[in-house]
Structure 1
Amino acid sequence: MLKIGERIVDYFRRADKLLWILITAISIYALVLLRTVPYSGSRSYFTTQFLAICIGYFGALILTGFDYRDLASLWWLAAGVSILLLVYTHFAGFGIQSSGGLDTKAWITIPGVGLSFQTSELVKIVFILTFAKHISVVKEKGLLDHPLHVILLGAHALFPVGWMVLIQKDMGSAVVFFFMFLAVSFTAGVKLRWFAAVAAMLAVALPAAWNFGIIKDYQKTRLTSFLHLEDDPTGNGWQQIQGRISIGSGQLFGRGLGTAPRVQKGVVSIQESDYIFSVAAESLGFIGCCLVIALLLALMLRTLYVARHATDAMGTAICVGFFAMIAIQTISNLGMCLNLLPVMGVTLPFFSAGGSSSACLYFGFGLVESVAMHRISADHVKIHMNAYSKSTS
């Protein structure tokens, strides 16, 4: 018992407590909002989210018990499992089909429990780990400016991006992978000329994809409808128009938790997920919106703090990858809700209902916390190594 107590004390001594405080505050706020959203199924959004958070917390605690370097050494296993999951999802998964041409498979059914799981959410976390391992090895060997190795880094990112666009037809996830790739590569020190080359290739590839059918008609509609919502207020413009009305109706202090009329009537479709920000806005007003943004911003800034104080390139890359994922999803979701960006099905991190998405985000958080905790042990190793070198000289 004494040893267990000592381990618990040691864990809390080494843990980044502010990260845990922020993630707990975000979790509680998300549950409060989802508690007020009506549901029609057998299980409330609150219950689903609570279970996902419990699984996520447990997974994060397990991950923090391992040195992130040891986890990254198993990159081949993680990558292999991810590829198998994506292939299995393509052939045996299920998704959404509509008359507008939408046909995507993104979920699988977990055998024995009857629950669904969106595999791309776990692949995002695996990508953070594998790409951090890849770029750290290249950087340590001084090959960040070598054309072959830069191309291989690009190929590493091109696989999930291409799979999301061409196979799974999930533009939102593709954007998230691409932004993580850019952020990690830039902070690692990849030269600007390579980013210019990527921009030039996109300038050629995007018009070609648009004109030759790679980007489907329903995707074109979703990408452009936000520019003229009033032209189709009962069709493609409905969700964003209603979301904007809900956000404005909350005014400064909101209409009240559990009493906001538009939330209770379910006027905004998918308000528990893509449009959870409209629930916060109508229920708690401008103050509630600011709290959502402040909590996510604080989490992102603390992640960057951990990245800055990491003892190696891999730890920095993991933190930057997680930061980029949270940042681009937050920007995309809020931009969608405020009619500044198109609807791409990107959820608001930690707030939107979704078991697989929420749980996997906590796994990413666990990797960042592992970097924070094992930075200390790495410092101790350096101190002992320096002491040893002095004693032998």
Structure 2
Amino acid sequence: MLLKKASRPQSRWNYWIKPWQQVDWLLFLLVIGISAFGGLMIYSTELAQGIIDKSLLHWALTGIGGVITLFLARIRYENLLQIHWVLYGITNFSLIAVEIVGSTAKGAQRWVSIFGFRFQPSEFAKIFMIITLAALLHKTTASTLPVVFRALAFTAVPWVLVFLQPDLATSLVFGAIVLGMLYWANANPGWLVLMVSPIIAAILFSIQWPFTIAFSKDLVFGPLGLIWAVAMAVVGWQTLPWRRYGLSAIGSWMLNMLGGEIGIFLWNHVLQQYQKNRLTSFLNPEADLLGSGYHQYQSRIAIGAGEWFGWGLNKGPMTQLNFVPEQHTDFIFSAVGEEFGFIGCLILLSVFAVVCLRLLHIAQTAKDNFGSLLAIGVLSMIVFQTIVNVGMNVGMAPVAGIPLPWMSYGGTAMLTNFISLGIVESVANYRTKKKYWG
């Protein structure tokens, strides 16, 4: 009888706790803490208006997201392998639906309404692309170019659909996810550099300093672009397999020259002046304080006004007087800087760093390549979004419309991040010690 009585509490413990026995509770609690703190800062930004519905919704989504995370942690992530093509099809279908029946907000067609609820398919597309790439790369490493090209081909379809919305911010996140997962799958780092080199060439060719090189009336290159093209030719020569007759070097050089030419053409003939101002205003926001530089200028003032320890919760003048536009979404970090100062920002960024380290640890200890790639995909997404968001708040990056994970207000983005967390927690929950190649 004594043994039976003693076994009942143990069986109840196993029933309730065992399904989450290997969940990374530190990661889960840190994310819940970040999200709850985000609701507190959103509350502060809307306090002066007397309306606190956004903060209440954010806190509600934190609770719902926590439940979703724990629910997904109980489900074996390997099941995603069986439905990854279905998810890929849903991704493309939903992105096409945006172009047909989507609604427009802030100059972009990104929203779909179902039964009165609006959501952004491009946010969920991030998760589905991580799953698709993990499924494509888990059996064969990306150490050969055909595997890399195959992964890029499947990524290109949803990427183009997102870019056409236009949603430049999400398309950049796609790029970060692909690069991170390919690197983890043993792709040659030189290939990854060559993948992004045309974009860098487009920027450098436009910098006409200290002198210019004119090939034609409309084709005026800066020397930095030509130096970059030569450097990429060396990278191609050293990493690509087509070295006969210098094809790898010539191809890499031509790729960057073409990227530079396209960049100059887009800058001179396609981009509108307001788009140019938005891309360059972070270099000198004072040049257009009432226009393209207004957001970042006010954000920098708010963060600087916080000094070391900040004004205190709900006491920041810039925040309470609504001087920073979109502060509850893209510029939530400026509210942290003003009301909690440099120390508060440092603590918040340290928490994000621990979250990223836990994600990396899960990727390293996953029982198979599929789980490891899933964790790295989520890590790449979180790291890129955090760096870009903080960068544009402090004036180190253009305003790209990328939210701060779990902090910024936004229902679809919140659910996306919590679903991603749930998938990673499933990887942690079902891991065993096993050698991996990531």
Aligned to 2:396: 340
Which deviates the most, 36-45 or 336-345?
36-45
C-alpha separation between the residues in 1 aligned to 2:261 and 2:168?
A: 15
Instruction: State which of 115, 125, 128 in structure 2 corresponds to 1:126.
Output: 128
User: Where does 1:88-237 land on structure 2 (aligned, <5 Å)?
Assistant: 88-97=97-106, 103-111=107-115, 114-139=116-141, 144-165=142-163, 167-202=164-199, 203=256, 204-205=258-259, 207-209=261-263, 211-212=265-266, 217-237=273-293
Instruction: State which of 45, 48, 54 in structure 1 corresponds to 2:57.
Output: 48
Instruction: State which of 85, 92, 107 in structure 2 corresponds to 1:76.
Output: 85
CA pair 200-283 structure 1, distance change in 2 beyond 3 A:
closer
Aligned to 1:33: 41
- Supply the RMSD in Å over aligned alpha carbons: 2.2
SS in 2 for 1:14: coil
User: Where does 1:237-386 land on structure 2 (aligned, <5 Å)?
Assistant: 237-376=293-432
Instruction: Tell me the amino acid that sits aligned with residue 220 of structure 1.
Output: K
Q: Which has the higher contact order (CA 8 A, sep 6+)?
A: 1
Deviations 1:87-117 (A, max 9, x none): 11121111324xxxxx311112231xx2321
Deviations 1:29-69 (A, max 9, x none): 21221221216697622112122223322222221111111
CA pair 298-5 structure 1, distance change in 2 beyond 3 A:
same
Which deviates the most, 257-266 or 172-181?
257-266
CA pair 206-11 structure 1, distance change in 2 beyond 3 A:
farther
Deviations 1:365-392 (A, max 9, x none): 011101101113x86xx9xxxxxxxxxx
Instruction: Tell me the amino acid that sits aligned with residue 29 of structure 2.
Output: I
8 Å CA contact 1:157, 1:178 repeated in 2: no
- Structure 1's unaligned 5+ residue stretches are 98-102, 383-393
8 Å CA contact 1:160, 1:177 repeated in 2: no
Instruction: Tell me the amino acid that sits aligned with residue 84 of structure 1.
Output: F
Deviations 1:230-272 (A, max 9, x none): 1111111011000000000111111111121211111100000
8 Å CA contact 2:143, 2:185 repeated in 1: no
The CA deviation at 1:5 is: 5.0
Deviations 1:278-314 (A, max 9, x none): 1111111112111220111110011001111112111
CA pair 335-36 structure 1, distance change in 2 beyond 3 A:
same
Instruction: Tell me the amino acid that sits aligned with residue 380 of structure 2.
Output: A
8 Å CA contact 2:148, 2:182 repeated in 1: no
Instruction: Tell me the amino acid that sits aligned with residue 128 of structure 2.
Output: V
C-alpha separation between the residues in 1 aligned to 2:409 and 2:124?
A: 16
8 Å CA contact 1:59, 1:362 repeated in 2: yes
C-alpha separation between the residues in 2 aligned to 1:90 and 1:244?
A: 36
Instruction: Tell me the amino acid that sits aligned with residue 14 of structure 1.
Output: Q
C-alpha separation between the residues in 2 aligned to 1:29 and 1:268?
A: 19
CA pair 177-216 structure 1, distance change in 2 beyond 3 A:
farther
C-alpha separation between the residues in 2 aligned to 1:225 and 1:355?
A: 29
C-alpha separation between the residues in 2 aligned to 1:8 and 1:59?
A: 17
8 Å CA contact 1:161, 1:175 repeated in 2: no
Aligned to 2:69: 60
C-alpha separation between the residues in 1 aligned to 2:384 and 2:143?
A: 26
8 Å CA contact 2:98, 2:112 repeated in 1: yes
C-alpha separation between the residues in 2 aligned to 1:78 and 1:29?
A: 32
Instruction: Tell me the amino acid that sits aligned with residue 127 of structure 2.
Output: I
C-alpha separation between the residues in 2 aligned to 1:224 and 1:51?
A: 37
8 Å CA contact 2:20, 2:74 repeated in 1: no
The CA deviation at 1:161 is: 2.5
C-alpha separation between the residues in 2 aligned to 1:320 and 1:329?
A: 14
8 Å CA contact 1:60, 1:367 repeated in 2: yes
Instruction: State which of 10, 14, 19 in structure 1 corresponds to 2:27.
Output: 19
C-alpha separation between the residues in 1 aligned to 2:341 and 2:127?
A: 33
Report the TM-score, using the length of structure 1 for normalisation. 0.87
Aligned to 1:385: none
Which deviates the most, 35-44 or 281-290?
35-44
SS in 2 for 1:109: strand
- Structure 2's unaligned 5+ residue stretches are 1-7, 200-255
CA pair 27-79 structure 1, distance change in 2 beyond 3 A:
same
Which deviates the most, 86-95 or 328-337?
86-95
Report the TM-score, using the length of structure 2 for normalisation. 0.79
Structure 1 or 2, whichever has the larger Rg, is: 2
How many residues of Structure 1 are paired with residues of Structure 2 in the alignment? 367
